[in-house]
Amino acid sequence: QVQLVESGGGLVQPGGSLRLSCAASGSIFGYYMAWYRQAPGKQRELVAGISRGGITRYADSVKGRFTISRDNVKNTVNLQMNVLEPDDTAVYYCNRGGAIPSWGQGTQVTVSS
């Protein structure tokens, strides 16, 4: 089973930016890759996804602010987050789809002044 390791989280002020990275121990080629997040007391939700062909989808709440990208050679998936808002505060998880989905351990993003 592939291991996913997220990085890039931290504390940022409202309006700021962060770039999350997800490094996979195995191939991501052919898999749907996504970022999810879970805020305290809330269910995990899909933030952004990208197909093997590069087709992207975003939650309405992040459209125009977040951008997902993938590198099938380096086996990485990134999430560029701009104009961050306090409601973006959550633990962000990388996900590789497939018959047996794989999850990373998560990285904390806190948006606060």
Q: Are strands 56-58 and 107-111 parallel, antiparallel or unpaired?
A: unpaired
Phi, psi dihedral angles at 87 (to 5 degrees): -70, -10
Spatial separation of the C-alpha atoms in residues 49 and 75, rounded to whole Å: 15
Element (H, E) at 102: strand 102-103
Rounded average pLDDT over 30-44:
97
Q: What is the pLDDT of residue 15?
A: 98
Rounded average pLDDT over 38-44:
96
Phi, psi dihedral angles at 94 (to 5 degrees): -90, 145
Q: What is the pLDDT of residues 64-102, one digit of tens each?
A: 999 999 999 999 999 999 999 999 999 999 999 988 999
Rounded average pLDDT over 7-28:
97
Q: Are strands 10-12 and 107-111 parallel, antiparallel or unpaired?
A: parallel
User: Are the C-beta atoms of residues 46 and 38 closer than 8 Å to each other?
Assistant: no
Nearest to 66 by CA among 53, 51, 50: 50
Rounded average pLDDT over 43-47:
98
Q: What is the pLDDT of residue 19?
A: 98
pLDDT at 1 over 90: no
Spatial separation of the C-alpha atoms in residues 47 and 94, rounded to whole Å: 10
Mean pLDDT, all residues of the chain: 97
pLDDT at 109 over 90: yes
Spatial separation of the C-alpha atoms in residues 89 and 75, rounded to whole Å: 26
